[in-house]
A and B are shown apart, each in its own frame.
Chain A
Amino acid sequence: MRANGALIVLLLVLGGCASQEVRYRQLPPDTPAANNAVNLEKALALAAQAASSSKNAKPETAGALAPITPAEAPPLATYDPWGPFNRSMYRFNARFDEALYLPAANHYRMLPSPIRAGVHNFFGNLAEINSIINYTLQGRLGRGVRSLGRFAINSTFGLGGLFDVAEKLNIPRAPTGFGTTLAKWGMHPGPYLVIPIYGPSTLREGMGLAADYGTSYAVNVANLYRGGQSWALGVLNAVDQRANVDFRYYASGSPFEYDTTRFLYVRKLLIEDTGLHRTRPAKNPNLDAPAGE
């Protein structure tokens, strides 16, 4: 009964029951001075990086991989045999985001930043367990040890992960998951898939996501994933993630947004895949197929 009531409220919200002339939404204040300071820091880091890379530039060694040529770029069209489902799901996600997810994230962003940073660090620290396991499965033991070190340092000196002490010790976060492990094992991304609430993904990444959740559930650190508080923690984690993603559905105003998002997401994934392989992956016939819509 209670579930039915909640469903009705959700449908009303998603259906746009508010039809008044003007809708107001108070957003977290913009922080231009801080934003520009971050941009300046990045620009200086880029300049330093460019200077050092030009100084330390080495000629390519015989053992280096041959560079990827333009002819090897995947076609402009994206493999999307589930297009109609994906488009419906993209639309659902946009409505859900506008009605519930983004407002929750905006309220959350009004909390003092040390509290938000603590929450973000806490969940980031829990995710290190998946990173340790997956780096090991990927055979990248050095990175696995780094994640283990981060987890140990932050869980102890960082008070259960609330503070990212490891970052200050110059051991930055480098999360990975089972989707990347599958890619490392040679699995191609597969068809594009829009996952409810989560958003753009592919079949492989979707499988990875499910496996990551399964791993967290199985490991169940401090009974966080199975105890009575697990739902509340799950919601808090989701809100924290949304608050840290600078994306607004249909901010482009464009009827082609689904297509451009799909294009950019899949290209990003494919480029990340190239960073995993020491040898060139076999050509995927699916990626050469026209969009299956």
Chain B
Amino acid sequence: MKQCVVALALAILFVFPVIAADPAPIQPPPASGPATGLADLAALRATVFGTPPQDIAVLPQKVPLLEMDLALPWARPVPAVFWFNRRLRVWFSAQDKPAPLAIVIAGTGSGGNTAKLAILRAVLYGAGYHVLTMPSPTFPGFIVSASSTGVAGDLVQDGRDLYAAIQQIIAHLPRKVQITDIDILGYSLGGANAAMVKSIDAAERKVGIHRALLINPPVSLFSSVGRLDKLYAITLGNGDAGVERFYQKLYAELANRYRASDRVELDEDFLLGAAASILNTDAEFSAAIALTFRIALINVFFAGDLYSDSGVVVDPRHPPNVNDSMEETFRILRGKPFSEYFTKVFAPYYLRRRPNSTVNELIAENRLDFIDDALRGDPDYYALTNSDDLILDAAELDWLKRTFGARIQVYDHGGHLGNLGDRQQVADMLDMLGGRWKGGAQ
């Protein structure tokens, strides 16, 4: 009996603290609804191919472009493999007279000069705005040069980093530029970032952002990417075998089409034509979308792992050097879902920084309803989205409608950004940013 008591005491002394120090593993955020959200086949097609050129709004003949590379004072030491990302690169198009400034933020993983940004830049410049286009805070160039953490994807932290970067950029715009007002907009994740930056500015008042426009924003970052994980698993499977199968199929299709053509070079025109006929089914479009998103995530995962010393794919004691092969790292990351970034890099890192937070709080802070009061109460927030957007489910679309009320326009078709730049969308966008919006039919 005495031995039992001693054993129990030892157990309490040694085993329980071990249990207490080894909490339950972090669970990834749940992804509700179907893997393709609200999208049908037409929405998936629109998402992949974008707005047809015949539907694009009237564009100006010429848009001046100034590239600005900024060394930001708070930048962290640059890891060797990211030597080329030392400076934050943004693009600015100036009017030659006083004009409002539109700041445009790119979507997940994208730089500040994408084709989508070029369309927005063109229509905004044509409407009389100075235009500043910026990378997403999840773009590796931003993570390295402008992020204060290196671990991207946190709506609040990314918003703060963006806000600080915007102040630096505005301070360094060419002297002759005269700004009469400042609006901010973004597409996809950039839309959520734009809303967050405006809400920070409302408290800090260092920039003076007037209106914010969210184009096809997510409602819950983690639900949206969780669905994209699910989509990847369904269409490509887990691990590398699915990617290899998809690649082999595409390769064979392209090679056969090329051989049947009389071309002497495989150029962009050939690829466009081939893509239009190779991708046909739900599964093929879904696989293309899921793979594109996964490739964007690879950079976020790699940078986060490197900066946080998490050790998932990068050995913190031996970080890769400039001449090291990255092929194996790329292959491993290709097979890793976003949920693993969340459980092994993101959540441990932010829970260390915010010791009083819980995983559920982290997830909640990355929902747009984290700034629900501002979105509901401030008449200067606007949104544009589609009723067949794959990054939303029915409840999330409903939440957007209820929150924005008359300040949202929901189109029947377009998928995720598949109608960006079309005539109606641009007219509505300019009405919203110009304060002329009277409310749309929903």
Pairwise interchain contact A32-B59, C-beta atoms closer than 8 A: yes
B221 → A minimal CB distance (Å): 20
Closest to A38 in B: B53
Q: Which residues of chain A come closer than 8 Å to B263, judged between CB atoms?
A: 275
Pairwise interchain contact B141-A253, C-beta atoms closer than 8 A: yes
Pairwise interchain contact B322-A91, C-beta atoms closer than 8 A: yes
Asked if B33 CB lies within 8 Å of chain A CBs, one says no
Pairwise interchain contact B60-A33, C-beta atoms closer than 8 A: yes
Pairwise interchain contact B65-A50, C-beta atoms closer than 8 A: no
Taken residue by residue from 261 to 285, chain B's Cβ proximity to chain A (1 for < 8 Å, 0 otherwise) reads as 1011110010011001100000000
B288 → A minimal CB distance (Å): 16
In chain A, residues 238-252, which have Cβ atoms closer than 8 Å to a Cβ of chain B? 249-252
Q: Which residues of chain B come closer than 8 Å to A176, judged between CB atoms?
A: 264
Taken residue by residue from 64 to 100, chain A's Cβ proximity to chain B (1 for < 8 Å, 0 otherwise) reads as 0101111111101100000110011001001000000
A272 to B262, CA, bound (A): 11
A249 to B140, CA, bound (A): 14
A143 to B265, CA, bound (A): 14
Closest to B243 in A: A76
A256 to B113, CA, bound (A): 19
Interface size class of B (residues with CB under 8 A): 35 or more
Pairwise interchain contact A68-B252, C-beta atoms closer than 8 A: yes
A71 to B258, CA, bound (A): 18
Asked if A259 CB lies within 8 Å of chain B CBs, one says yes
Asked if A124 CB lies within 8 Å of chain B CBs, one says no
Pairwise interchain contact A25-B264, C-beta atoms closer than 8 A: no
A242 to B255, CA, bound (A): 28
B134 → A minimal CB distance (Å): 13
Q: Which residues of chain A come closer than 8 Å to B323, judged between CB atoms?
A: 84, 87-88
Q: Which residues of chain B come closer than 8 Å to A19, judged between CB atoms?
A: 71
In chain A, residues 252-293, which have Cβ atoms closer than 8 Å to a Cβ of chain B? 252-256, 258-259, 267-268, 270-272, 274-275, 291, 293
A34 → B minimal CB distance (Å): 7
A26 to B67, CA, bound (A): 6
B87 → A minimal CB distance (Å): 7
Count: A-B pairs, CB below 8 Å? 181
Chain A residues with a Cβ closer than 8 Å to the other chain, count: 67
Q: Which residues of chain B come closer than 8 Å to A291, judged between CB atoms?
A: 325, 327
Q: Which residues of chain A come closer than 8 Å to B61, judged between CB atoms?
A: 31-34
In chain A, residues 13-57, which have Cβ atoms closer than 8 Å to a Cβ of chain B? 19-37, 39-40, 42-43, 46, 49-50
Asked if B299 CB lies within 8 Å of chain A CBs, one says yes
Taken residue by residue from 220 to 236, chain B's Cβ proximity to chain A (1 for < 8 Å, 0 otherwise) reads as 00000000000000000
Pairwise interchain contact B327-A40, C-beta atoms closer than 8 A: no
Most buried by B among A36, A50, A74, A175: A36
A275 to B239, CA, bound (A): 32
Closest to B264 in A: A174
Please tell me which one of the listed residues A32, A72, A254 contacts residue B60 in the complex, with CB atoms under 8 A apart.
A32
Q: Which residues of chain B come closer than 8 Å to A43, judged between CB atoms?
A: 52-54
A43 to B235, CA, bound (A): 28
Please tell me which one of the listed residues A24, A65, A88, A91 contacts residue B67 in the complex, with CB atoms under 8 A apart.
A24
Q: Which residues of chain A come closer than 8 Å to B259, judged between CB atoms?
A: 65, 68, 274-275
Pairwise interchain contact A87-B322, C-beta atoms closer than 8 A: yes
**A→B interface (CB under 8 Å):** 19-37, 39-40, 42-43, 46, 49-50, 65, 67-74, 76-77, 83-84, 87-88, 91, 94, 143, 174-176, 180, 249-256, 258-259, 267-268, 270-272, 274-275, 291, 293
- A selection of 28 A-B contacts at a CB cut-off of 8 Å is A21-B71, A22-B71, A24-B67, A27-B65, A29-B63, A29-B65, A30-B121, A32-B61, A33-B59, A42-B269, A42-B272, A43-B52, A43-B53, A46-B269, A46-B276, A67-B256, A70-B249, A76-B240, A76-B247, A251-B111, A251-B113, A255-B302, A256-B298, A271-B255, A274-B258, A274-B259, A275-B258, A275-B263
19 additional contacts (CB under 8 A) given A94-B84, A272-B266? A24-B66, A25-B66, A29-B64, A32-B122, A65-B259, A67-B252, A70-B248, A70-B249, A70-B252, A77-B327, A88-B323, A175-B264, A252-B140, A253-B141, A256-B302, A271-B255, A274-B258, A275-B259, A275-B263
